[in-house]
């Protein structure tokens, strides 16, 4: 027996089979049985020892021989408001042709009331073969304002009515951070690249509070099907300055008993003063219910890989196809190191921990420098988001300073190509250094950055252990030396994100932990990464939160 919490306890629930407790520093910590009482694991060990604690009223969880139990997952980086808004968006991700997309859009158009905006996502120019146009869209949405994000969210396809609402015409000039696609005569075609997308999307009506609440509730219920029982929301893209948007909605949902997963909700820099005045503290409940808690101050340190706006120590490689990087040869910080340090210390003095978005190695270094003076001073640790490129001199500092490395393995699927284009020979040497950071004592916390990537955590877990993806050319591996062992990857998706959120009694299944449990096919751990392996397509059959069934397939 690994241990138990007092022999007087009678078990509410007994789980027998192959159960990963994640006890100890490494490995899965397999046991034959766990006993659950009052929502927590109270005993873990051999079948015989745990069964001895069962009484007449103890329920038993039946497992098939080809199933295992793992701790349920936590997504450490999501944008809940933006993700929830996708609930009512038209999904074009399954369409191979423009015609198939138009058919789905025609149906959606018929369902919507007159005048309502039609929103969607998921079309893919690589599959459709050519850029669709406003004229294509007008044929099926007849005068309705409509905008449809591409699969990778770098452009929107808009209807003529949407362009009219935004005042886009032949004379409209391109914004500095984007491009309006035009025909030979200079007329906009209905395709807005990068920052030009905002010309239209900012005109779409904001959802009402109740609409947003229902969408967040529905979206969070979907997460349970993947085994996710908690998420860390890394703040809205539109700064919620007066704290009446996402954070208030999540609080109200929790207080009303309508929040299917536990949420830590964060703020942008613009809302820091309001959060300090309101007495928000990282890890503390937002309202009556402890299911919604305050997360982090989120600071943007730089831009992105694809756009080559991330800030690097050495210049970006030259790119004949796209010309010079838009913000200079090394990219640019969007917040200076001094500003980041000032914000982090102001926040820490009031019990608010900081999370810094840092893609380039120069920004990762600046973020580590900014957080070093406040390391360990908040109940919830500080963290750095993404850290896609880390100079070898900085890899040990995450462990030294106790700064969480919040990474999204699924990003590597689409990023590998752009990393090699943008950083050349450096890409695999300093890119996505998960094993090295963990090897130097840094704590990895996994998320998917939904809605910018699909929220499904399982393909990301597979990428973390293979450093490869079925969508890549056969045999292609990106930085094989950075591959994690399977137990390291699993820990990064449950135990570590819980610790990173200041919840040391979640994410494992040893005695004392909350019984957040999922039952998955054994193949997920026994043959996880055989080509097209079981790990990337895993779906739990059963998910429990605090010992209660919250999802059953
Ligand atoms: Zn994000």
Range of weakest confidence among 43-47, 61-65, 75-79, 98-102: 61-65
CB atoms within 10 A of CB 94: 9
Please enumerate in sequence order all residues whose Cβ is within 8 A of that of 439, keeping only pairs 6 or more positions apart, or say none. none
d(CA 509, CA 44): 8
3-state helix, strand, coil in the chain (%, to 5): 35, 25, 45
**For residue 177, what pLDDT band results from cuts at 50, 70 and 90?**
confident
- Among 522, 515, 525, smallest CA distance to 550 is for 515
d(CA 4, CA 41): 8
Q: Tell the residue number behind the tokens 């969070």, with chain if given.
A: 220
| Sign of torsion over alpha carbons 446, 251, 295, 293 | negative
**For residue 183, what pLDDT band results from cuts at 50, 70 and 90?**
very high
CA of 195 to the centre of ligand 1 (A): 17
d(CA 435, CA 488): 9
CA of 56 to the centre of ligand 1 (A): 48
At residue 9, the pLDDT reads 74
CA of 67 to the centre of ligand 1 (A): 33
More confident residue, 532 or 96: 96
CA of 237 to the centre of ligand 1 (A): 9
pLDDT tops 90 at residue 422: yes
At residue 8, the pLDDT reads 61
| Sign of torsion over alpha carbons 400, 404, 408, 409 | positive
d(CA 235, CA 296): 9
Q: Tell the residue number behind the tokens 């591409």, with chain if given.
A: 150
CA of 34 to the centre of ligand 1 (A): 36
Overall pTM surpassing 0.85 (yes/no): yes
Instruction: List phi, psi (to 5°) of 373.
Output: -65, -20
385: tokens are 């988001």
CA of 76 to the centre of ligand 1 (A): 10
For residue 209, whether the previous peptide bond is cis, meaning omega lies within 30 degrees of 0, is no
CA of 343 to the centre of ligand 1 (A): 19
CA of 166 to the centre of ligand 1 (A): 27
CA of 83 to the centre of ligand 1 (A): 11
264: tokens are 């830590």
Q: Is 506 helix (H, G, I), strand (E, B) or coil?
A: coil
DSSP character at residue 11: P
Q: Is 420 helix (H, G, I), strand (E, B) or coil?
A: helix
Mean pLDDT of the residues in the chain = 94
pLDDT tops 70 at residue 3: no
CA of 450 to the centre of ligand 1 (A): 7
In tens, the pLDDT along 42-73 reads 999 999 999 999 999 999 998 999 999 999 99
CA of 472 to the centre of ligand 1 (A): 24
In tens, the pLDDT along 366-412 reads 999 999 999 999 999 999 999 999 999 999 999 999 999 999 999 99
Beta bridge partners of 33: 16, 45
Q: Tell the residue number behind the tokens 């608010």, with chain if given.
A: 352
């Amino acid at each position: 027996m690994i241990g138990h919490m007092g022999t007087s306890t009678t078990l509410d629930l007994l789980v027998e089979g192959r159960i990963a407790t994640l006890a100890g520093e490494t490995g899965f910590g397999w046991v034959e049985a766990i006993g659950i009482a009052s929502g927590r694991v109270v005993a873990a060990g051999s079948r015989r020892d745990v069964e001895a604690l069962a009484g007449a009223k103890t329920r038993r969880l039946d497992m098939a021989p080809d199933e295992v139990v793992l701790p349920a997952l936590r997504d450490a980086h999501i944008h809940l408001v933006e993700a929830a808004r996708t609930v009512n968006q038209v999904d074009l991700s399954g369409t191979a042709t423009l015609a198939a997309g138009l058919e789905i859009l025609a149906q959606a158009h018929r369902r919507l009331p007159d005048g309502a905006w039609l929103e969607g996502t998921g079309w893919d120019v690589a599959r459709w073969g050519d850029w669709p146009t406003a004229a294509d869209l007008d044929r099926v949405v007849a005068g309705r304002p409509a905008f449809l994000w591409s699969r990778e969210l770098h452009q929107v396809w808009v209807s003529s009515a949407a362009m009219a609402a935004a005042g886009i015409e032949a004379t409209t000039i391109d914004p500095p951070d984007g491009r309006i696609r035009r025909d030979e005569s200079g007329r906009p075609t209905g395709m807005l690249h990068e920052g030009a997308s905002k010309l239209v999307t900012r005109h779409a009506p904001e959802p009402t509070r109740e609409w947003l609440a229902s969408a967040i509730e529905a979206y969070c219920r979907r997460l349970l099907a993947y085994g996710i029982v908690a998420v860390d929301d890394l703040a809205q893209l539109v700064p919620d300055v007066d704290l009446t948007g996402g954070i208030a909605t999540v609080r109200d949902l929790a207080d009303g008993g309508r929040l299917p997963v536990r949420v830590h909700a964060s703020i942008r820099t613009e809302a820091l003063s309001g959060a300090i005045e309101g007495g928000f503290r990282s890890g503390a409940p937002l309202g009556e219910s402890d299911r919604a808690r305050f997360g982090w101050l989120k600071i943007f340190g730089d831009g992105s890989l694809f756009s080559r706006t991330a800030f690097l120590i050495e210049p970006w490689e030259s790119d004949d196809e796209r010309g010079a990087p838009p913000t200079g040869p090394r990219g640019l910080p969007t917040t200076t190191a001094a500003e980041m340090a000032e914000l982090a210390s102001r926040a820490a003095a009031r019990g608010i921990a900081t999370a810094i978005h840092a893609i380039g190695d120069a920004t990762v270094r600046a973020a580590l420098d900014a957080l070093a003076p406040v390391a360990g001073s908040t109940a919830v640790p500080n963290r750095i988001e993404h850290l896609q490129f880390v100079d070898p001199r900085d890899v040990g500092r995450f462990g030294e300073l106790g700064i969480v490395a919040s990474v999204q393995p699924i990003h590597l699927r689409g990023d590998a190509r752009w990393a090699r284009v943008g950083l050349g020979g450096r890409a695999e040497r300093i890119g996505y250094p998960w094993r090295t950071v963990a090897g130097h004592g840094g704590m990895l916390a996994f998320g998917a950055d939904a809605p910018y990537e699909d929220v499904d955590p399982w393909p990301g877990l597979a990428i973390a252990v293979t450093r490869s993806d079925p969508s890549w050319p056969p045999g292609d591996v990106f930085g094989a030396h950075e591959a994690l062992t399977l137990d390291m990857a699993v820990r990064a998706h449950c135990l570590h994100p819980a610790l990173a959120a200041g919840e040391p009694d979640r994410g494992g299944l040893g005695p004392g932990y909350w019984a957040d449990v999922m039952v998955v096919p054994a193949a997920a751990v026994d043959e996880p990464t055989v080509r097209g392996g079981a790990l990337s397509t895993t779906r739990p059959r059963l998910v429990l939160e605090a010992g209660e069934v919250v999802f059953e397939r």
